[in-house]
Amino acid sequence: MADITVIGSNMYELTTFVDRMPVEGETVEAPEFEMGFGGKGANQAIAAARLGSQVNFITMVGRDEFGRQQLENYRSNGIRADGIGIADGSSGVAPIFVDTSGDNRILIVKGANKQLTPAALDDKKDLIEGSKLVVLQQEIALETNYHAIELAEEYGVPVLLNPAPANDDLNIDYVSRVAFFAPNETELATLTGMPTGTLDEIKAAARNLVRRGVGNLIVTMGGKGALWVSADQELLVPAVTVEAVDTTGAGDAFIGSFAHYYTQGEDVPTALSHANRYAAISVTRRGTQKAYPTAAELNDLLLERVQA
Ligand code: ATP
């Protein structure tokens, strides 16, 4: 039985660093290329597994070389294979182009992720039973997430929904059924239609959702940290001050590590403060999953800080 069941996407990232983008019909030489594992579901599953959680990951990879490498990545990070389906056709891939100022242009080919339908989830639903938390994001069909929320309710398992990327069509009735709703500032604004430019505005938007039934609102606010709002609590957990070099995947590091600490029995404030620290470390390193420390690495890093 797993501690955490993550249901969601996986992507194979193909990153080209360019001096400039080619115009139509032109070929230009680019200085650097990197491949890496990504996808919000996969990132969150990997963060929790690296910290030592038993993780089930319900996802779909393609019957291709990228899918084979994804399977090996999950195996080597200790994620159980039972939840991973293999679909005909291509895996999810993300060709990414990063220019010299660090700005990026990203294409998403969902590939096998599109086949994670409610029916495909039903084939794996037994894996949810006995988990302490189901973790969802929005890179798969909303209908599949809605079905996941229904199944989790059947099994009595709380749900954490990270509504990323933002989707206007997200049904508030389902949002009100989750234990943890964890948007960033932009996603919170999209769902509530309320401004989230200042801390007071974020609090008001979060309160609005709590009034509509969400148990706990956790708003990630980048370098400003995270805010927790529930019916009777409000807590700002300031970010750990670090020199950020690459914030890609910080949100996933935060969600995956929060899921780990919470299901290990920490209370919400402690789990949030540990997740803040884990995500802060991830922004000091380049890459997405590559930047996520294991429990052993984390201990070494914390020890270095104490000794410094
Ligand atoms: P992404 O989509 O890039 O993964 P996000 O918008 O979902 O990110 P953020 O709110 O930017 O997520 O960041 C998530 C968490 O990561 C923050 O709540 C904070 O704990 C940590 N974090 C992000 N940026 C910084 C930073 N510059 N310094 C310290 N911690 C950071």
At residue 64, the pLDDT reads 96
d(CA 275, CA 262) in angstroms, rounded, equals: 10
Higher-confidence residue of 101 and 210: namely 210
Binding residues for K(+): 246, 248, 282, 285, 287
How does pLDDT run across 70-103, given as a tens digit for each residue?
999 999 999 999 999 999 999 999 999 988 887 8
Query: Ligand 1 atom closest to Cα of 164?
Result: 7
Burial of 26 (0-12, 13-18, 19+ CB in 10 A): exposed
**pLDDT band per the 50, 70, 90 thresholds, residue 308:** low
Closest CA to 47 of 293, 264, 303, 301: 293
Closest CA to 226 of 135, 162, 288, 172: 162
d(CA 176, CA 216) in angstroms, rounded, equals: 10
Higher-confidence residue of 75 and 248: namely 75
Residue bearing tokens 């750990």: 240
Strand-pair category, 4-7 with 55-62: parallel
CA of 280 to the centre of ligand 1 (A): 7
CA of 81 to the centre of ligand 1 (A): 29
d(CA 190, CA 148) in angstroms, rounded, equals: 22
Q: Whose CA is nearest to atom 22 of ligand 1?
A: 222
3-state secondary structure of 179: coil
At residue 165, the pLDDT reads 94
pTM for the model: 0.95
Q: Whose CA is nearest to atom 11 of ligand 1?
A: 222
Tokens for 148?
């996941």
At residue 286, the pLDDT reads 84
Q: Whose CA is nearest to atom 23 of ligand 1?
A: 222
Strand-pair category, 216-220 with 226-230: antiparallel
Those residues whose C-beta lies under 8 Å from the C-beta of residue 151, and which sit 6 or more positions away, are 121, 125, 128
How does pLDDT run across 111-166, given as a tens digit for each residue?
999 999 999 999 999 999 999 999 999 999 999 999 999 999 999 999 999 999 99
Positions marked catalytic = 252
Question: Residues 202-231: what's their mean pLDDT?
Answer: 95
CA of 107 to the centre of ligand 1 (A): 22
Could you tell which of 135, 254, 292 is best to mutate to test the pocket of ligand 1, judged by most ligand atoms within 8 Å of the CB?
A: 254
Closest CA to 135 of 42, 17, 203, 201: 42
- One of 2.60.40.10, 3.40.1190.20, 3.20.20.70, 1.10.260.40 is the CATH number of 2-21+32-307, namely 3.40.1190.20
Phi, psi at 99, each rounded to 5°: -90, 180
Q: Whose CA is nearest to atom 7 of ligand 1?
A: 251
Residues with CB under 6 A from ligand 1: 164, 184, 220-223, 225-226, 239-240, 242, 244, 247-252, 254, 276, 279-280, 283
Tokens for 195?
């401004």
CA of 79 to the centre of ligand 1 (A): 24
CB 43 within 8 A of CB 135: no
Percent of the chain exceeding pLDDT 70 equals 99
